[in-house]
Amino acid sequence: MRKTYEAIVIGASAGGTKALLKIVPELPPKSCPPVMVVRHVREGSDFHLPDVLDQKSGVLVKEAYDKEPIHPGTVFMAPPGYHLLVEEDGTLALSTESKVCNARPSVDVLFESAAKVFEDKLVGIILTGANSDGSRGLKEIKAFGGLTIVQDPATAESNTMPMEAIKTVEVDHVLELDAIGPFLKGLCEQNAA
133 is catalytic: yes
CA 141 to chain centre: 12
Contacts of 19 (CB under 8 A, 6+ apart): 12, 127, 128, 151, 156, 157, 177
Contact between 146 and 8 under an 8 Å Cβ cutoff? The reply is: no
Q: Which of these is catalytic: 13, 113, 135, 158?
A: 13
Angle at 85 between CA 152 and CA 98, to 5 degrees: 90
Cα distances from 142 to residues 41, 57, 63, 104, in angstroms, run 26, 29, 27, 23
Q: Which of these is catalytic: 57, 106, 132, 133?
A: 133
13 is catalytic: yes
95 is catalytic: no
* Rounded Cα distance, 164 and 21, in Å: 23
- Burial code of 70-80, b = ≥16 C-beta within 10 A, e = fewer? bebbbbbbbbb
Q: Which of 117, 118, 116, 136 is nearest to 126 (CA)?
A: 136
Integer-rounded Cα radius of gyration of the chain: 15
The catalytic residues are 13, 40, 133
